[in-house]
Amino acid sequence: MSQPKPALHILTGPTSVGKTEAALSWAEQHNAEILSCDSVCVYRGMDIGSAKPTVAQQQRVPHHGLDLVAPTVRYSVTQYIAYAQEVVRKNQSRGKNTLVTGGSGFYLAAFFGPVSDDLMVNDATIQEVRQLQEKGIEALLRRLQEIEQRPLPAWLDQQNPIRVAKALERRLSSDLSLDEIREEFLQKKSPFEGYTVQTRLMERPDDELRTRINQRTRAMLQEGLIEEAQNLLQLNLDPELASARAVGYRATMDWLADGKKVALDGLAERINLDTWALVRKQRKWFKRLGLS
C-alpha cells in the first residue's frame, strides 16, 4: 500500500481580507509554521506598505519567506520555489505542518503546477531586452520576429509588453522556438507534486473590502509608509524591480518625487485605487487556479 501524500495547507485571498490573523490562529491550532506567499514581503525594509507580520505576530508563530533580500535585488519566482521547497521539507522533517499564506498570484501558482522553465537568462540578455523595452513594444516584437523567423504563436499576448519582453528573454537564451520552449514547460512537473494541497480562499463583499483597504491605507500612511518610500527613493531602484513597482510604495515614491504637489488625501486615494486594481488581478489568479 502506498503512503498517503503529506498535506500542504494554503490560505489565500485578496489583499486586506484578513489573512494574517486567520493564518496565525490556524497555525497555532495545527502545529504549523507560516510560509509567506507575498512577492513584496521578501524585501527587507518594506514592512508597513506590505502589511508584513509584526514582530509580535512573528513571535506567536515562526514565519518564513520574509526579509530575504534587499530591495535592490531582482528576486525571481524560481528562487522563491527553491526556498519554499526547502522550508516545506524542513518543517516536515520536524513534524511541523506548513501553512502558505499570501496573495501573490505567480508565487501562489507554484503550489499548483509549474510556473517557470529551467532557462538561465544572463545579465547581458536582460540588459538587451531592457534597452528594447525603452523603445517600445514594436521594437521588442521586431527583435522577437527576427529570431523566431516564423509567425509568432497565437498564445503570446502581443499587446502586453511584459509578456513580450519575457518571451524575448527566453528566446534569446535558447536555441528552441517559442512553441518548443512552451511545450517543454508544459511537460514539467509541479514543484510540489508530492503533496496534497489543501486550500482555503478568504473573501469579503466588495463594499466591506473597500472599507478595509481605505482603513489600512490611512494606517500605513500614519505608521511610516512615507518614510519607507523615502528610503527606497534613496536607493535609486531600477524601475523594473518588483520593489520599485509595489502597490503603495510606487504611488508614495511618485508623490515624494513630485515634491508633494498632491495633498496627502490625494495620495491615499491613488493607493486605494492601485490596491483595488491589485484585488482585481488577484481574483483573476484565483479563478485561473480554480479557487473561486
Strand partners, 33: 98
* pTM for the predicted model, two decimal places: 0.86
Tens-digit pLDDT profile for the chain (292 aa)? 455 678 899 999 999 999 999 999 999 999 999 999 999 999 999 999 999 999 999 999 999 999 999 999 999 898 999 999 999 999 999 999 999 999 999 899 999 988 877 778 888 998 899 899 889 999 999 999 999 998 999 999 999 888 899 899 999 998 899 999 888 887 888 899 889 999 999 999 999 999 999 999 999 999 999 999 999 999 999 888 999 999 999 999 999 999 888 889 999 999 999 999 999 999 999 999 999 7
Please state, in angstroms and rounded to a whole number, the distance separating the CA atoms of residues 151 and 174: 18
Residue 1 burial (CB count, 10 A): 3
Q: Cβ contacts of residue 143 below 8 Å, gap of 6+? A: 132, 168
Distances 145 to 123, 129, 134, 136, 142 between C-alpha atoms, Å: 22, 14, 18, 15, 5
Please state, in angstroms and rounded to a whole number, the distance separating the CA atoms of residues 84 and 221: 31
Cα 184 versus chain centre, distance: 24
* Strands (DSSP E) found in the chain: 7-12, 32-36, 63-64, 97-101, 196-201
